Amino acid sequence: MTTYGVMIDRIEAEIGRSDLTARVKEAILTSIKHYERRRFYFTEFIDSLSTSSSQEFYSVSDYADMSLITEVDSLRINDGTYDYPLMERDWSYMEQVQTYDGVFSDPTDYTFYSQRLRLYPIPDAGRTIHISGVKKLASLSATTDTNAWMTDGEALIRARAKAELYAHVVHKPDKSAVMHQAELNALSELEAETWRRVNGKIRATQF
């Protein structure tokens, strides 16, 4: 399995510089940041969280990855007997209905705002919510750290990082252009694989 440290070493070897470790790290993290909000098969997720009676808002203290979510595809709730989808609403709608209704029941609507999930009506019992969408991967710090950017997305991130280094650190625009094309090729392959997994019915969609 490829790690952060392995990618650092490989990039240093490929650009022929062992004195730029700090800049290589920056280039890798900058490259990940550039793509981390994009949908790839390895940034999609399916997970669940539990509601609590009389609790309207849910944050990282209730679901650790709440701040990593960049796109929500669906929320489904189990009322103890059936699963049904929640309707996505905007903040102003939720402000209006909560102000005037003040209802406590099984939720039917939701919104994400300021890295928090808000439910309407306010739950009157503990329920399980299934959530699917796109989220950022765990950040990299130690050289032994790894995530899907170091494995499935390795070619994309490595190529972009080298393009960044050649353009802004080593100052070899011709090599930067070559790496940018390698980045585009890797991006095309990942997008094709993501499309194949979605349209080829590989991705699980039922709970």
For the stretch 115-168, pLDDT in tens is 999 999 999 999 999 999 999 999 999 999 999 999 999 999 999 999 999 999
Q: Which amino acid is at 206?
A: Q
Band of residue 204 on the pLDDT scale cut at 50, 70, 90: very low
Q: Residue 139: CA atoms inside 13 Å, Cβ hemisphere, count?
A: 9
- Residue 103 is predicted with a pLDDT of 81
* Rounded-to-integer distance, Cα 156 and Cα 4, Å: 14
- Residue 198 is predicted with a pLDDT of 81
* Rounded-to-integer distance, Cα 125 and Cα 108, Å: 14
Could you give the percent of the chain with pLDDT greater than 90?
Answer: 89
- Residue 98 is predicted with a pLDDT of 85
Rg (CA), the chain: 21
Band of residue 205 on the pLDDT scale cut at 50, 70, 90: very low
Q: Which two tokens stand for residue 10?
A: 């490989």
Residue spans per domain, the chain: 4-38+148-199, 44-135
- Host H or E run for residue 70: strand 69-78
Does residue 121 have a cis peptide bond before it, meaning omega lies within 30 degrees of 0?
Answer: yes
Cβ atoms within 10 Å, residue 206: 7
* Rounded-to-integer distance, Cα 14 and Cα 113, Å: 43
- Residue 79 is predicted with a pLDDT of 87
Q: Between the CA atoms of 29, 35, 36 and 38, what dihedral angle is there, to the nearest 10 degrees?
A: 180
Q: Which two tokens stand for residue 68?
A: 């990593």
* pLDDT at residue 202 is higher than 50: no
